[in-house]
Chain A
């Protein structure tokens, strides 16, 4: 917990008060050049980066979960093998290649990044949602049917809550990939935290590279940790009533 707060503090410091860290980055900067990235505010880059990831992941979650629900209903069953094939093939596509291939179609800027993040983000969420929805305990489903719940009630009150932790794990994987791919998005002129890294690589200014790298790395680690906490919380809540029943 202390470590978490320390990392959060470091992150906030790096983003909000970058000039307080001159001493840290100065040794890495080449002579007579600035040690702190100042061509754009790190705060605005961070917010932009997070907004891109959030928008793409939110859209991907909605579409992927809807698709998973569709192929696990009788009407969508014929599409199930196909959807498996697509997820398998799609996940072997490198995220960078997806980003690069989106540029010819959509031009430079935030748009291809958003689309690449969205498309690539669909796969882990869909895969997990499909697994979760198709491996529900048959006895629970039978009980729900026996209670007289109709299809929508079963979906909303039984299936989705039971599948939630696994779906959330899929969203976590997808968000982590999106954070990384959004960083690379700055090579196609999206305004993200990759900008200082790329600028540093181009001007041989290692200080910029480290700054961008540290900030993105800290964001990733903290977001990952937050997801794991929520997943554990969900799993705990699910275990409790079961334990009570057994006792």
Chain B
């Protein structure tokens, strides 16, 4: 086509340049009050600013080259480094002149630039068409760099990090609680949904009842579902002997867990049915011809062939649960939602971020990991054909 620049690259460069005109950091006299925005060139000394802005611009310029995906990827890393450098130095610089209670937060300009750079990175990685191993490597690399960055204290001057420091213990508890809610309900949903899915696949009558009931549950808005669980589990806790002792009560962990479990069942059951349905009849027939018994056929032929679709169902559930577990914060179920809703109540933006950003990160990592798992489960199928 004779095209020498990448059109998405042009889009990123234009958006990136436009984002530079927005305030990069916000300086506020204390945690709650409205702040004052500072443009990218106002936040730090001239050397730092020029170095950082050059890195950002050079990185975005690398993104213009369509035929070099590795260079585009390197460019996105360079931009990201410049962005974080400016963020870290700018925060320290702005705080240096302000009072003890002053807070510095990333502003619209930073978030826009970050999104643009991340999109460039995603676009470049897409162009590389990485296999599962490379993707896992890149994910580890990015997470490692993020961990190093947080551990090094380069971002400690930023307000969300200050919120974190006053709540480090609570944050750890919330993290475990969030993971327990999301993964625990996934585990139980798989334990119930998997046999149910096999049964539904074999017996049309079971299928005709379970799937509509489960999709009905799925349509109920999450807040309503969490709310309705409260009286139900409160009643169970009050009437069933021993239920209260194991922690079943109207508010807290139990109703959140059950609500997530109910949402998880549909993807697990539906994908198990679809996965088993997608197994070619010829394969099952061949297995029967080889003299395999029913269970042998199931474990060595049907299940491995259905696995990618079943795992894709688990991916949907995991990502969905990590997001929905935030609502547990409203009914005392813990997790990152606690910070989000506390932050909303106190109009403390940084507290909201402290809850929302880890949730987003966790959901993204879960999505990428599960995509890799689904792909690894796939090749057995393709390899047979080649």
Binding site for B on A (CB under 8 A): 28, 78-79, 81-82, 84-86, 88-89, 91-97, 100-101, 103-105, 108, 176, 179-180, 183-184, 187-188, 194, 197-198, 200-201, 206, 209-210, 212-214, 216-217, 220-221, 224
The docked-state distance in angstroms from the alpha carbon of A102 to that of B356 is 11
The verdict on B334 contacting chain A, using a C-beta distance below 8 Å, is: no
The verdict on B324 contacting chain A, using a C-beta distance below 8 Å, is: yes
Binding site for A on B (CB under 8 A): 3, 6-8, 11, 66, 108, 119, 122-123, 126-127, 216, 219-225, 227-228, 230-231, 234, 250, 319, 322-324, 326-327, 330-331, 337, 340-341, 343-344, 347, 349, 352-353, 355-356, 359-360, 363-364, 366-367
Contact A92 B219 (CB under 8 A): no
Expressed in whole angstroms, the minimum distance between the Cβ of B348 and any Cβ of chain A is 10
The docked-state distance in angstroms from the alpha carbon of A97 to that of B359 is 7
**Nearest neighbor of B340 in chain A, beta-carbon distance:** A100
Which of A78, A180, A209 touches B221 (beta carbons < 8 Å)?
A: A180
Query: Which B residues touch A82, using CB under 8 A?
Result: 8, 119, 122-123, 126
Query: Which B residues touch A224, using CB under 8 A?
Result: 219
Which of B7, B234, B363, B366 touches A206 (beta carbons < 8 Å)?
A: B234
The docked-state distance in angstroms from the alpha carbon of A28 to that of B227 is 12
Contact A183 B221 (CB under 8 A): yes
Contact A179 B221 (CB under 8 A): yes
**Nearest neighbor of B365 in chain A, beta-carbon distance:** A92
13 cross-chain CB contacts under 8 A? A81-B127, A82-B8, A82-B119, A85-B123, A96-B324, A96-B337, A97-B356, A101-B353, A183-B224, A187-B341, A197-B223, A206-B230, A210-B227
Contact A94-B219, Cβ < 8 Å, known A28-B231, A209-B228, A213-B227: no
Contact A103 B8 (CB under 8 A): no
Expressed in whole angstroms, the minimum distance between the Cβ of B235 and any Cβ of chain A is 10
The docked-state distance in angstroms from the alpha carbon of A188 to that of B346 is 11
How many contacts between A and B, using CB within 8 angstroms?
Answer: 146
Expressed in whole angstroms, the minimum distance between the Cβ of A33 and any Cβ of chain B is 15
**Nearest neighbor of B321 in chain A, beta-carbon distance:** A94
Contact A221 B223 (CB under 8 A): no
**Nearest neighbor of B316 in chain A, beta-carbon distance:** A91
Which of A88, A103, A180 touches B349 (beta carbons < 8 Å)?
A: A103
Closest CB pairs A-B (n = 4): A94-B323, A180-B221, A213-B224, A92-B367
The docked-state distance in angstroms from the alpha carbon of A197 to that of B227 is 7
**Nearest neighbor of B359 in chain A, beta-carbon distance:** A97
Query: Which B residues touch A213, using CB under 8 A?
Result: 220, 223-225, 227-228
Contact A184 B6 (CB under 8 A): no
The docked-state distance in angstroms from the alpha carbon of A95 to that of B319 is 11
Query: Which A residues touch B366, using CB under 8 A?
Result: 92
Contact B356 A101 (CB under 8 A): yes
Contact A217 B234 (CB under 8 A): no
The docked-state distance in angstroms from the alpha carbon of A180 to that of B220 is 8
Contact A104 B353 (CB under 8 A): yes
Contact B228 A210 (CB under 8 A): yes
**Nearest neighbor of B12 in chain A, beta-carbon distance:** A82
Query: Which B residues touch A198, using CB under 8 A?
Result: 330
Given A97-B356, A180-B224, 10 further pairs, Cβ under 8 A: A82-B123, A94-B326, A101-B352, A108-B347, A180-B221, A201-B330, A201-B331, A209-B230, A217-B221, A221-B216
**Nearest neighbor of B358 in chain A, beta-carbon distance:** A97
Contact B352 A103 (CB under 8 A): yes
Expressed in whole angstroms, the minimum distance between the Cβ of A136 and any Cβ of chain B is 23
Expressed in whole angstroms, the minimum distance between the Cβ of B270 and any Cβ of chain A is 14
Contact B330 A100 (CB under 8 A): no
Contact A212 B108 (CB under 8 A): no
Contact A79 B356 (CB under 8 A): no
Expressed in whole angstroms, the minimum distance between the Cβ of A185 and any Cβ of chain B is 10
Expressed in whole angstroms, the minimum distance between the Cβ of A180 and any Cβ of chain B is 4
Q: Which of A84, A198, A213 has the most CB of B within 10 A?
A: A213
Contact A194 B127 (CB under 8 A): no
The docked-state distance in angstroms from the alpha carbon of A168 to that of B77 is 39
Which of A28, A105, A183 touches B223 (beta carbons < 8 Å)?
A: A183
**Nearest neighbor of A179 in chain B, beta-carbon distance:** B221
Contact A94 B119 (CB under 8 A): no
Which of A84, A105, A214 touches B108 (beta carbons < 8 Å)?
A: A105
Contact B319 A100 (CB under 8 A): no
Query: Which B residues touch A221, using CB under 8 A?
Result: 216, 219-220
Contact B234 A96 (CB under 8 A): no
Contact A212 B360 (CB under 8 A): no
Contact A85-B126, Cβ < 8 Å, known A100-B352, A103-B352, A210-B231: yes
Query: Which A residues touch B324, using CB under 8 A?
Result: 94, 96
Contact B352 A104 (CB under 8 A): yes
Contact A180 B222 (CB under 8 A): yes
Contact A184-B223, Cβ < 8 Å, known A89-B364, A96-B337: yes
The docked-state distance in angstroms from the alpha carbon of A108 to that of B348 is 12
Expressed in whole angstroms, the minimum distance between the Cβ of A45 and any Cβ of chain B is 13
Which of B123, B219, B323 touches A95 (beta carbons < 8 Å)?
A: B323
Query: Which B residues touch A214, using CB under 8 A?
Result: 224, 228
Which of A84, A97, A183, A187 touches B222 (beta carbons < 8 Å)?
A: A183
Contact B364 A104 (CB under 8 A): no
Contact B223 A216 (CB under 8 A): yes
Query: Which B residues touch A105, using CB under 8 A?
Result: 108
Query: Which B residues touch A108, using CB under 8 A?
Result: 347
Contact A96-B221, Cβ < 8 Å, known A201-B330, A206-B230: no
The docked-state distance in angstroms from the alpha carbon of A70 to that of B23 is 32
Contact A180 B8 (CB under 8 A): no
Contact A81 B123 (CB under 8 A): yes
Query: Which A residues touch B331, using CB under 8 A?
Result: 201
**Nearest neighbor of A186 in chain B, beta-carbon distance:** B223
Expressed in whole angstroms, the minimum distance between the Cβ of B139 and any Cβ of chain A is 13
